[in-house]
Amino acid sequence: ASKGQVEVESGEKGASDDKGSKPFQPPCGLTNLGNTCYMNATMQCLYSIEELKTALKTYNTTSQLDPTARLTASARDLFRKMELETSGQPSISSAGAGNPSAQKFDLDNEEKEEDGMYEEKSVTPSEFLASLRQSFPQFAQQGAGGLYMQQDAEECYSQVLNALREKLDTSGDKKDVKDLFGIDMETNLVCEESKEEVNEKSTLYTFKCNISQEVNHLHDGFRLSLCEDREKHSQALGRMALFKGVSKINTLPKYLSVQLVRFLYRRDTQSKAKILRRVGFPLQMLDVFEFCSDELKGTLETGRKTWQKMEDEKAELAKKRRTGESGESQESQTSVVIGDSNHTGFYDLHAIITHKGRNADSGHYVSWVKRDGQWVEFDDDDVYPVTDEDIQKLDGGGDWHMAYVCIYKARLV
């Protein structure tokens, strides 16, 4: 398709996956303003988090001089424009009716053109880009010929999240960004020589998955990142000494942001080299129970027992239906009351930022978001529905797009 037009083919899951499911509602893309795919990928992921959008809607500022206030207001306005652009009713081309693999989605809610192409819909994030560069001048770096340079999407994600936290988490116990993304950690450090212990507490907003030759899965990288050797002043020895530390999670967020640490700085090339190693990540049921403190594990046990009871009752109902036993609907027979406040330690994949290329400050960033059960690829202003199989191919090992930041949503009961 030509620029500005797209022809979309669905995979096994098309516009209507199952009988009675809603048709795919095409979201809008974001225009690339010159090496701004890192920003577009970041904002598409943040836009997908409904609770964050709700918190932003009530944000007001009269400050003309505070760059962080301007950035927060610009994010609010950008999300509002994206919401308006996406609010049109989707239409499905009749050309693919009855054949899911040939269905085309009208990405601009326009009349079908003769060649089967559809105009894309997108928003141009000019004001947000200007406020981002004002708040964080690193994103305004220019290279040869005065062209703006590519930047690191994880750095953009972290900086934007910190800015939103600064402005939204200001009133009493209401901490929107902290509650949504904050990971309270406790680190126990033991001196190798004196055996003295030091306990430190901190709050993180991204959970690191370090990558080495032994790391094949997120869990392997988590274990690596939660252990550290640190040079620190020893009160007992009166000098610097080596401390070995182990960290545990004290509180879990609703959205767990995971960074696969794929880039390391090389002094010889003065650039961030990329680790291409394949690292598997689950689409469902990421279990972080083993990384939690004993106190948190005790709290999680309640939610996990409730969740297991729900699963057992679902399995029993399915068995009755297979054997032809009469019974009421699942909802009426399930005795477990489902809530949204108890953590289980289980997370399902919600969104991804991927990188294609060999170093962080070049290449191309794309976001992938699950909307109403359908995975969607956001490649700037090109938007496509994709399948679970497409997402599973983002685990690395080559020159294709590979997961860099994964956002998991808590399975609450």
- For the chain, report the end-to-end CA distance as a whole number of angstroms: 45
Residue among 155, 147, 183, 146 at smallest CA distance from 42: 155
What are the phi and psi torsion angles at 336 (to 5°)?
Answer: -75, 130
Q: Helix crossing, 126-135 with 153-168: angle to 10°?
A: 90
| Residue 233 dihedral angles phi and psi, to the nearest 5° | -70, 130
Residue 325 CB partners (closer than 8 Å, separation 6+): none
Structure tokens at 123: 């928003």
Q: Which of 292, 343, 355, 364 is catalytic?
A: 364
Contact predicate 379/373, CB 8 Å: no
Tell me the pairing of strands 374-379 and 382-386. antiparallel
Residue tagged active-site, from 37, 156, 191, 406: 37
Active site residue 401: no
**CA trace torsion 170, 183, 57, 381 (10° rounding):** 140
Phi, psi of 381, deg, nearest 5: -95, 10
Nearest to 68 by CA among 181, 201, 183, 166: 166
**What is d(CA 47, CA 79) in angstroms, rounded to the nearest whole number?**
6
Q: How many beta carbons lie within 10 A of that of residue 137, not counting itself?
A: 10
Q: How many whole angstroms separate alpha carbon 65 and alpha carbon 203? A: 29
Question: What is the biggest distance separating any 2 CA atoms in the chain, rounded to whole angstroms?
Answer: 80
Amino acid, single-letter form, for residue 282: P
- Catalytic residue check, 364: yes
Read off φ and ψ for residue 133, nearest 5 degrees: -70, -30
Amino acid residing at 306: T
Active site residues: 37, 364
